[in-house]
A and B are shown apart, each in its own frame.
Chain A
Amino acid sequence: QKEVEQDPGPLSVPEGAIVSLNCTYSNSAFQYFMWYRQYSRKGPELLMYTYSSGNKEDGRFTAQVDKSSKYISLFIRDSQPSDSATYLCAIKGTSYGKLTFGQGTILTVHP
């Protein structure tokens, strides 16, 4: 079993839709939870992070963590074509600096 599982999609939605991206993880020692966004042929960039259960909001983006269920989500409201990218969840445990990434979900928002 992979430490982090993410539905690879692809996911295609119309502009303005609410998008939900999800990951599950197996190791309860994981402490920090991140979402990276990767545009085509570019390196990933950090979008959001959180370290506790609950919600964290940043503009149209909301990151949600449920440690009891080992489940993390990213919600995108009023999705835009510029949101089209691959979204990767990443989780940091106790090992220094090391991140464990999900497989990535390819999102396309069409006008």
Chain B
Amino acid sequence: NAGVTQTPKFQVLKTGQSMTLQCAQDMNHNSMYWYRQDPGMGLRLIYYSASEGTTDKGEVPNGYNVSRLNKREFSLRLESAAPSQTSVYFCASSPVTSGRYNEQFFGPGTRLTVL
């Protein structure tokens, strides 16, 4: 099992360009998440998908859109990149559980620089 995979690993964009970050998991998890990680800020939730067909905003959704393509795949799109979106982006997934700690499994991350 590959777990959670993310592409690309690195990306440099110019201000105003668009791009899509791809994420896939092979653990048959229902829930998937997108986070960004900035120095001194920890992990901040951008969007999440509790199950296939649903998406919800997290803490910092502005400037992003998401698509839950199917149970395995959850993509994050930047329509018009800004320097403030320079960050490391992590995708995560978790199984359907209620009343439990609901461990999240993380991908290796995408390092994005917006010039």
Contacts and interface: CB of A to CB of B under 8 A. Distances in A.
Contact of A45 (B33, B41, B101, B106): B106
A103 B106 contact: no
24 contacts: A4-B42, A6-B42, A8-B40, A32-B100, A32-B102, A34-B103, A41-B109, A42-B108, A42-B109, A43-B4, A43-B92, A43-B106, A45-B106, A88-B42, A96-B31, A96-B50, A97-B94, A97-B97, A97-B102, A98-B45, A98-B48, A101-B43, A103-B40, A104-B43
Contacts of B94: 97
Contacts of A49: 101, 103
A63 B109 CA distance: 27
B41 A103 contact: yes
A105 B9 CA distance: 24
A56 to B, nearest CB: 12
Contact of B108 (A4, A6, A43): A43
Contacts, number: 58
B109 to A, nearest CB: 6
A110 B46 CA distance: 35
Chain A: interface size category: 20 to 34
Pick the most buried of B101, B106, B109: most chain A CB atoms within 10 A of its CB.
B101
B100 A98 contact: no
Interface of A: 4, 6, 8, 32, 34, 41-46, 49, 51, 88, 90, 92, 96-99, 101-104
B42 A104 contact: yes
Contacts of A4: 42
B31 A101 contact: no
Contact of A97 (B4, B44, B48): B48
B42 A97 contact: no
